[in-house]
Structure 1
Amino acid sequence: MMAAPISLLLATRNRGKLGELQQLLDGLPVRLLTADDVGLSHLDVAETGDTLLENASLKAAAYGAASGLPTIADDTGLFVDALNGRPGVRTARFGGPLKLLDALRDIPAPRRAHFACVIALRLPDGSQQHVTGTCPGQIMFDMRGAGGFGYDPVFQPDGYDQTFAELGEAIKNPISHRGLAVAALAPLLKSALGIG
């Protein structure tokens, strides 16, 4: 008889992240919950950190302390070489892919960039661990594709001739920054939560 899945709180309101993480964690005996599921939809954590790790840790700590559940929180950034690493830790507040294309309008190819994702795992005892995933690539000259979310239509990962938005989830998810971070998270979850 299989043990009941362990409840794991995802500290985000981003439905795109929720769906992506559900797919990436498929196969692990965890039940992914949202703030709405545990009555914490009112909780708003300011991302005041200077790094992705600081922001992920802030969110994991706040949601974990409020819920008493093992909690994962991520922060993701798009770091563009020609913009000295911007939008970086401020990606979510930068203004979106059209603003990025405008900022790069006079920059020739290749417009090197990388996505980075840090996932913080906070356990009920207050301890935290984290993992990171990075995906190098370049910024295209226009938006391409209808899939994904955020900056997916303008980011083409190295080794592919399509943007994240064109690749489709089956190809994108395992190679993306978040997919690589979740792949690193899986053994951490198994060890920390005693599952799998």
Structure 2
Amino acid sequence: MDTIIAASRNQHKIVEIEAITKKFGMTIISRDEAGIPKVEIEEDGETFEENSFKKADEIRKMCGKTTIADDSGLMVDYLGGAPGVYSARFAGEDCNDTKNNEKLISLLEGVPYKERRAKFVSVITMVFPDGTSLVARGECEGHIIDTPVGEHGFGYDPLFVPDGFQRTFAQLLPEEKNQISHRAKALAALERLLEERNS
């Protein structure tokens, strides 16, 4: 396949996507590497799908090449699906991972473990030069714990224990996480869509 431009500037996401897409024969470069102007794309959609498409399509309009964008976040049942599309800015505009995690812990204080169901969601959209697109969604279900554990990953990873594991995402090695993560599932779904498109 041709080189694909990643709409994201988040190196963590690009590395995770690239670790999985290599085996599909996709070469991904960041928008900065592609020389795309440093314009902020406002993520004002109400769903991961809306935000993912908007990011990919805006970049496609700038470069005319195939683009890929991921919009992802954490949805906690007890909080009615929050933080959802606001996952990255849950604790306010100038927040960071630590502040977001602290807010989540405080909102779930006293809530029993079994009621701390949550899922990570990733929606990956690939938009082709002609404007057609493929949309793939992946989910990974689990629970939220009340103290961050682990050194790997980013975001809410230190608080999220995926179903079937006794360790958080941040305790899993990258290759372990890449087999079960929401992003891995979205990329697997994208691979199936690409196979259908090319058959």
Q: TM exceeds 0.5?
A: yes
Determine if contact 2:121/2:182 at 8 Å carries over to the other structure.
yes
Corresponding residue for residue 100 of structure 1: 104
Quote the offset at 1:30 in angstroms.
Answer: 1.9
- Greater helix share, structure number: 2
Q: How many residues align?
A: 190
* DSSP 3-state at the match of 1:105: coil
Give secondary structure in 1 for the equivalent of 2:118.
strand
Quote the offset at 1:129 in angstroms. 1.8
Matched, 1:150 2:146: no
Gaps of 5+ in 1: none
Unaligned runs of 5+ in 2: 92-99
Q: 1:188, CA displacement in angstroms?
A: 2.6
In the other structure, the counterpart of 1:27 is 23
Gap change, CA 1:41 and 1:106, over 3 Å in 2: farther
Which residue of 167, 173, 179 corresponds with 1:168?
173
1:90 aligns with 2:95: no
TM-score, length of structure 2 as denominator length: 0.91
**Cα distance in 1 for residues equivalent to 2:192 and 2:62:** 25
Q: Does structure 2 retain, via aligned residues, the 8 Å contact 1:6–1:29?
A: no
Q: Is structure 2 residue 92 aligned with structure 1 residue 65?
A: no
SS of match in other structure, 2:23: coil
SS state at 2:109 partner? coil
2:134 and 2:190 in contact (8 A); partners too: no
Q: Percent identity?
A: 40
Runs of 4+ residues over 2 Å off in structure 1:
187-192
- Residue 41 of structure 1 and its aligned partner are, at CA, apart by 4.6
Q: Distance in 1 between matches of 2:140 and 2:24?
A: 24
- Does 1:52 pair with 2:56? no
Aligned residue in 1 for 2:96: none
Aligned-partner Cα distance in 2 for 1:145–1:41: 36
* d(CA) in 1 for partners of 2:104, 2:173: 22
Distance 2:26 2:186 in 1: 17
